[in-house]
Structure 1
């Protein structure tokens, strides 16, 4: 039954995000789902159905991508109800996707369920490493952000409102991406994040060296 539900949810999400040009497209969703499926294997207490369902749906209600988040949340709940998810399972999925974002946890750390921790880790893993670099450039280009300005220092002590005000693409590595490895929840994600973060740090150093004509 779960596989049938996942196929139906995947189709719904593809219809929602298929035209996305910010790096939150269906390919991103598929990568997050695959990462979540791998992580859940090492977390035997987690409910895989909740994990996969939330992984598919996590960006559908994101306020970066949706104007009316309340209406979209109701729509998602209705979709899950049609697929015979229980009220308890729907509540579990909604709790994850409404509280897992980086911006929502800047000033206070929300205690997610183990299922939520897995989905959060999977989503954050797709924000770092080689794909993370590409997505950062793609997202910044979409919104016309400056690539790099050596005079513009990375911002610190951000709340959600100020974080959402655009920065340079390179500053985004310091303001978010380099921080994610230390915020991972599960052992599997922590290990993968260390590798991906090292790759990003090498890239940013090379970028700056080339920018200043050192290489």
Structure 2
């Protein structure tokens, strides 16, 4: 992930690990090793970042085996990685996550909102040549997986309404819900200011 230019680089990984560590302190029943392992690896087989997900998955399985993880532990890490992405909620294919996966999912979603989320959304959209804003283009609702991946029908500002502002209410843990409240307000304030400046309001 060192050369990533979409907002999913190692800095993102480090923040997700830090957030997962913070959240896990409130949930001692969660397996800490599996939580942090999944946090570090959660993006390495993601379809939007990896050209060959099958090869990437095989490489990760071998890596985890080499580190001494058991097959059940590896299966749990993959269950988390395979089912935590937002797009899985759009087509209803996501399997229920164990507590460790809920923590990692919350950490990943927290890094998608707030001030960091704003900068990552702009960075991601710029990388793929998205239009910043067009008031005539309305946010999409009830998207399928294919529609979600189709950036031709999206603007960067609309992405906040289509996804980012919905994440607060999708948090699994109470610890994450508390953190999400402030980050949500940061985004709402940004959008209000952005539109005021767009319309050249004094």
Consecutive unaligned residues of structure 1, counting only runs of 5 or more, are 1-16
Give ranges in structure 2 of 5+ residues lacking alignment: none
Q: TM-score, normalised by structure 2?
A: 0.97
Could you say which residue in structure 1 is the equivalent of 2:85?
101
State the Cα distance separating 1:111 from its structure 2 match: 1.2
Structure-2 residue corresponding to 1:39: 23
Q: Which residue in 1 is equivalent to 2:34?
A: 50
Q: Which residue of 1 aligns with 2:158?
A: 171
CA distance in 2, matches of 1:210, 1:95: 44
TM-score by length of 1: 0.91
Show the 5 A alignment for 1:52-201.
Answer: 52-108=36-92, 110-166=95-151, 167-201=154-188
In 1: Cα distance, 2:91 partner to 2:128 partner: 25
Pairwise CA distance, 1:129: 0.2
SS of the residue 2:73 aligns to: helix
Aligned residues: 199
Tell me how large the CA RMSD over aligned residues is.
Answer: 0.8
Whole-angstrom CA distance in 1 between matches of 2:165 and 2:91: 17
Q: Could you tell me how far apart the structure 1 residues matched to 2:127 and 2:145 are? A: 20
Aligned twin of 1:5: none
Q: Which runs of 4+ in 1 moved over 6 A?
A: none
